[in-house]
Amino acid sequence: MGIAELVGVVLFGAVVVLAYFAWRRVRLLRAGGVHVALRSRIEDSGRGWHLGVGHYRGDEFTWFRVLSLRTGPDMVISREGFEIDDRREPTAPEAYAMPTGAVVLRCRGSKGEVEIAMGPDALTGFLSWLESAPPGRSIPWAS
């Protein structure tokens, strides 16, 4: 196999992977997802923000990373015990990786700390979901 064929195979593979990422993102958004950027503070690895799509599934908020080959969610946040510790505007270096007009929420849950960034519409839905705990449970956040 010559160099031209090898380059062609590599380029074809890259196009297939990019097409998969695009198809996955569209599929997740059409299924009722919202644009969300997330930074896990559990491992504090310094890898930064990751764009993704979030879904509400009863008492769970599932988050799918846009550039991931996984078929399932990359993170599952349970409403029970989940608290918002702080709300802030993104810094200039962070803004590139977030939805337009995003607000950053520093949160704490059973799996540790996480920061979530979402636009105004997604934020309204997220706060409504968080407040809609079944009767008898306290509201898991205060601001």
Neighbours of 59 (CB within 10 A): 14
pLDDT of residue 136: 53
Nearest Cα to Cα of residue 31 among 59, 54, 58, 61: 54
pLDDT tens for the 143 residues of the chain, in order: 788 889 999 999 999 988 887 777 777 666 767 878 888 764 444 468 888 888 888 889 988 888 777 778 888 988 888 889 999 998 888 888 788 889 999 998 887 888 999 999 999 999 998 888 665 554 444 44
At residue 57's C-alpha, the angle toward residues 56 and 60, to 5°, is 85
Instruction: Please give the model's pTM, rounded to 2 decimal places.
Output: 0.70
Nearest Cα to Cα of residue 63 among 34, 85, 26: 34
